[in-house]
Chains A and B, each alone.
Chain A
Amino acid sequence: MNAEPSSIEFRPPFPLVILTGYLGAGKTSLLNHLLALPSIRGRKVALIINEFGTLGIDGLKVEAGVHAKFELNRGSLFCICIKTEFIKTLTTIAGEVQPDLVLVEATGVADPCDIEQFLDVPTLAGRFRVQASVCVVDAEGFTRVAAFMQSARRQAVWADGIAINKTDLVTPSDLGILRHVLTGLNPRAPQVEVTYGRIPDTFLYSLVHERRPEPASERPPEDMVSVSLQTHRVVDRAAFMGAIMSLGDNLLRLKGVVRFHDGRFFVDVVNGRVTEEHPPAGSEATAFVAIGWQVSRDTLGAAFRRTWEVMGSNETHEL
């Protein structure tokens, strides 16, 4: 650690951009896009690829010799183990690479606030500055994943900017609802709609990093909830559709098998649009999952339970 004082270069901290987003959201294409931007291409970029269980760097079109690449997936899986590797890698980058920019692709299960805390350890303090944390959100899949996966939610909550990717795969109205949901999670972060991760560099450079306090320790905000419901009773179709209607924006998604009086159906609801298909073979029982937004689990569950309780008979029982 002890360099000769005469050989020490004084320099401002290295800027660091954190890319978050769960697996499949499109981080790799966004990273490829960033590396090809004229404002980044000529610069000395250190890349930290930190993907949980994927093939890491292989998917990246990184020009040989231009960037220093570091993979963190060699042996480190979980939060705290990653921390050791991450600190080691950044120490190497600061000492040997001295890049113009550090790009960190966080694992899909990483908490961005953890990454920021890692930068606080005495050996790294002052050597890196988070320029921005950008969360890539998959327009089609976000509400599906975020209801279940803590880090998917937290990455959106902690971002300085949100890139809504794959917008070509959804309708404008779905996009509108998603933007609304994201604003609810993180009112501070500007959003940009993109396809193939192509965010404009003006968006990236306009972001202002703000370090926010520790996450609420005990529970995440109940912005998104999921409820899993099963019953052997027959479900009243009109009441069921009525429940979907009356929940309106509070119901983001619903999926599963429902047994109505006219038979079993595979029901898929996305932002109020209902599609019904023939169900896969299997149990006769009704079993589905609903994802709600700004509604309590109890209210969400009760809205649907009522739709079979009206039809309930004494011979059947609820699971």
Chain B
Amino acid sequence: MTSKTRVLSALRGEKVDRIPWVPFIGCHAAALIGAKAGDYLKSEALMIQGLEAAIRRYQPDGIPAAFDLQIEAEAMGCKLTWAEENPPAVISHPLALGVTLDRIPVPSADAPRLRAVLNTARALSKAHPDIALYGLVCGPFTLALHLLGTDIFMKLFDDPAGVKTLMEFCTTVCRTVAGYYVEAGCDVIGVVDPMTSQIGPEQFQEFVTPYMKPVFASIRRQGVLGSFFVCGHAQQNIAAMCDCAPDNISIDENIPLDYVRDVCVPRKISFGGNIQLTTVLLLGTPEDSQRNALACMETGGTTGFVLAPGCDLPYATPPANLEAITKLVLDPYQRDVLKATAVTDTQKEVLDMRDYGQSDRIIVDIITLDSEACAPCQYMVEAVRKVTPEFDGVVEWREHKIKQRESLVFMTSLMVRNIPTICIDGQITFVSRIPARDELIAAIQKRIVEKTRIKIKQRRSSLYILGDGGTACKQIKANATKAITELGVDANIEMITEPERILAYGISPIMQPAVVVAKYQVKSTRTVPEVAVVKEWVKD
């Protein structure tokens, strides 16, 4: 199976030898060759160079010629603003500025940026005939929004007929541009319509389905396959998207992949996407990326599933993260190893933490990703490190980097969910928040007081009042009773008046009235303590 046949088979819902990998590389390819996104997306030469670099590094089964939903809008008169690390954004909506629809052109294949992307597609399909080439077109609803602005939502009520006319026109654009991509050698047309996530299924059926259906029918008539891309909270529309009869539906991380699978598969539509763009691919590690990809692969399976990120990869995605996914895709052994460690994680050894934090010292545990690699973790560790000397050996602190297995077990056992977190004597105290110095000191002091109180409570004592039992002795007894009540401690008071017993305490008549306090602690019950243990008690 070649990469291309693997992608096409998966898109058709057929079983494949392994899951195809289609990184949606847009301006990220610019980063690979050190170009700015704005220069890259305007230059055929840079796009070819960038995609060649991406193909070398990521060994994809499929790749898009470009990922920029503003190409059509620009050719139709929308003004753009450019960025260094992002595709451009539309900043003017001609229909909102009084331009009438009949004056807006269907983009020609010679529109400069469209021509650059089409030429890129031609060059790539020639150089890599075995890779499935995706041509991405801006979906009609998103294009309508580019042309009209967010007024479109108001017009769904105020002027539904007008919105339908606009959708009709945008559909024509969509079909025309899809035709250009097919002619340029693309094997798959992705119709990318993220703004449909904003409407509910009823509006979708009224304003999108009738227009989108002919788009996919026309794509199929041209001998290629069609994928419907959406991003955002679009779960409510997945079934309606299926009714548009695409070959495939591609979603981002906002929709659970198993939900999409369960809606698509019975309708004989393949699915894909879902690898988390920001949290995992951009900000995570290669291992995070592999784990996320593996989870997607486990849900997706080898029939009718395409492994892909949720949307256009961020410019600054670390290549190592994508390379790690490539390794996982190509190497079943890597998948097995990862699966095995994942299984142990799910078994979750949980330690019994009931007696944790009962020693004389105060234990401060900081659960981090790694204080050397994560700034908030570092600040949290520093905060604790600076405060502990104040307590002169009473407070002990430890960092638990959850990259290490035992730390992960420790974190789970303490029921910590967020990183970084400070636990004081096993109690979650500061979650994802670096406490101010005073706040941290106060929290530790509070625990010290608490422990002291517990200790006091565990102690028992007897208070003996030695004397003649007269007014002074009675006053002492009253005061002692009050003190014991106020402290809430377990103590008994005894008045001793017999001279010989008083003498046994070493108190002569001239020293009376006197008070003797005897303290005792329960050290063991129902055991015969070892000599060494008793020695420790006596020393204490």
Using a CB–CB distance below 8 Å, which chain A residues touch chain B?
A: 1-3, 5, 8, 10-13, 22-24, 52-55, 73-81, 83-85, 87, 108-109, 111, 118, 120-127, 129, 141, 144-145, 147-152, 215, 217-220, 225-228, 253, 255-256, 282-283, 287, 289, 291, 297
Q: Is the CB of B419 within 8 A of A84?
A: no
Residues from chain A with a CB closer than 8 A to the CB of B255 are: 217
- Nearest-Cβ distance from residue A274 to partner chain B, whole angstroms: 16
Q: Is the CB of B157 within 8 A of A291?
A: yes
Residues from chain A with a CB closer than 8 A to the CB of B182 are: none
Cβ proximity bits B179-202 to A, threshold 8 Å, 1 near / 0 not: 000000000000000110111101
Residues from chain A with a CB closer than 8 A to the CB of B434 are: 10-13, 126-127
Cβ proximity bits B274-310 to A, threshold 8 Å, 1 near / 0 not: 0001110011000000000000000000000000001
Residues from chain B with a CB closer than 8 A to the CB of A120 are: 418, 432
Residues from chain B with a CB closer than 8 A to the CB of A150 are: 197-200, 233, 236
Q: Is the CB of B86 within 8 A of A149?
A: no
For the complex, what is the distance from the CA of A88 to the CA of B158, rounded to whole Å?
39
Residues from chain B with a CB closer than 8 A to the CB of A215 are: 233
Q: Is the CB of B90 within 8 A of A53?
A: yes
Question: Pick the contact of A75 from B88, B156, B254 — CB < 8 Å?
Answer: B88
Q: Is the CB of B282 within 8 A of A80?
A: no
Q: Is the CB of B436 within 8 A of A121?
A: no
Question: Pick the contact of B160 from A74, A118, A289, A297 — CB < 8 Å?
Answer: A289
Residues from chain B with a CB closer than 8 A to the CB of A127 are: 376, 434
Cβ proximity bits B415-447 to A, threshold 8 Å, 1 near / 0 not: 000111000000000001111110100000000
Question: Pick the contact of A55 from B88, B91, B206, B374 — CB < 8 Å?
Answer: B91
For the complex, what is the distance from the CA of A41 to the CA of B83, rounded to whole Å?
31
**Interchain residue pairs with CB less than 8 A apart (16):** A12-B433, A53-B90, A53-B93, A75-B37, A81-B312, A108-B150, A121-B279, A123-B283, A125-B376, A126-B379, A126-B420, A144-B157, A145-B153, A148-B156, A148-B200, A148-B203
Cβ proximity bits B57-88 to A, threshold 8 Å, 1 near / 0 not: 00000000000010000000000011101111
For the complex, what is the distance from the CA of A126 to the CA of B89, rounded to whole Å?
31
For the complex, what is the distance from the CA of A289 to the CA of B199, rounded to whole Å?
15
Q: Is the CB of B200 within 8 A of A255?
A: no
Residues from chain B with a CB closer than 8 A to the CB of A83 are: 277-278
For the complex, what is the distance from the CA of A214 to the CA of B240, rounded to whole Å?
23
Q: Is the CB of B436 within 8 A of A10?
A: yes
Residues from chain A with a CB closer than 8 A to the CB of B93 are: 53
Q: Is the CB of A220 within 8 A of B200?
A: yes
Cβ proximity bits B376-405 to A, threshold 8 Å, 1 near / 0 not: 111110110110000000000000000000
Question: Pick the contact of A217 from B88, B154, B235, B376 — CB < 8 Å?
Answer: B235
Question: Pick the contact of A78 from B37, B194, B279, B314 — CB < 8 Å?
Answer: B194
Asked if B494 is an interface residue, CB under 8 A from chain A, the answer is no
Q: Is the CB of A122 within 8 A of B283?
A: yes
Residues from chain A with a CB closer than 8 A to the CB of B198 are: 109, 149-151
Residues from chain A with a CB closer than 8 A to the CB of B232 are: 78-80, 111
**8 further A-B pairs in the complex, CB-CB below 8 A; given A79-B254, A84-B277, A144-B158:** A10-B434, A22-B150, A52-B150, A53-B146, A74-B86, A145-B153, A152-B153, A289-B157
Asked if B34 is an interface residue, CB under 8 A from chain A, the answer is no
Asked if B39 is an interface residue, CB under 8 A from chain A, the answer is no
For the complex, what is the distance from the CA of A81 to the CA of B83, rounded to whole Å?
13
Q: Is the CB of B150 within 8 A of A255?
A: no
Q: Is the CB of B278 within 8 A of A73?
A: no
Asked if B373 is an interface residue, CB under 8 A from chain A, the answer is yes
Q: Is the CB of B378 within 8 A of A80?
A: no
Which residue of A has the minimal Cβ distance to B83? A75
- Nearest-Cβ distance from residue B402 to partner chain A, whole angstroms: 10
Q: Is the CB of B154 within 8 A of A122?
A: no
Residues from chain A with a CB closer than 8 A to the CB of B199 are: 148-150
Q: Is the CB of B157 within 8 A of A255?
A: yes
Residues from chain B with a CB closer than 8 A to the CB of A218 are: 235-236, 259
- The interface centre, meaning the residue of A13, A75, A79 with most chain B CB atoms within 10 A of its CB, is A75
Asked if B247 is an interface residue, CB under 8 A from chain A, the answer is no
Which residue of A has the minimal Cβ distance to B150? A23
Q: Is the CB of A123 within 8 A of B376?
A: yes
- Nearest-Cβ distance from residue B393 to partner chain A, whole angstroms: 21
A80/B89 contact (C-beta < 8 A), A120-B432, A215-B233, A228-B206 known: no
Q: Is the CB of B374 within 8 A of A79?
A: no
Asked if B493 is an interface residue, CB under 8 A from chain A, the answer is no
For the complex, what is the distance from the CA of A219 to the CA of B439, rounded to whole Å?
42
- Nearest-Cβ distance from residue B253 to partner chain A, whole angstroms: 7
Which residue of B has the minimal Cβ distance to A222? B200
Question: Pick the contact of A80 from B145, B195, B277, B439 — CB < 8 Å?
Answer: B277
